[in-house]
Amino acid sequence: MKLITEEISSVKFITEGKGAKKKMYIEGVFLQGDLKNRNGRMYPVSTLTREVGRYNESFVQKGRALGELGHPDGPTVNLDRVSHKITSLKQEGNNFIGKAQLLDTPMGKIAKSLIDEGVTLGVSSRGVGSIREDRSGCKVVGEDFMLATAADIVADPSAPDAFVSGIMEGKEWVWEGGILREQHAQSIKDRINALGGQNRLEEHKLNLFNDFLSNL
Q: Which residues are catalytic?
A: 71, 124
Which helix or strand (DSSP H or E) is residue 151 part of?
Answer: strand 146-154
How far is it, in rounded angstroms, from Cα 183 to Cα 216?
A: 9
Q: Which amino acid is at 214?
A: S
**Cβ neighbours, 10 Å, residue 13:** 18
Buried residues in 79-97 as b, exposed as e (16+ CB within 10 A): eebbbbbbebbebeebbbb
DSSP structure class, residue 17: S
| Residues β-bridged to residue 180 | 175
3-state secondary structure of 135: coil
Q: Are 1 and 128 in contact (CB under 8 A)?
A: yes
DSSP structure class, residue 21: G
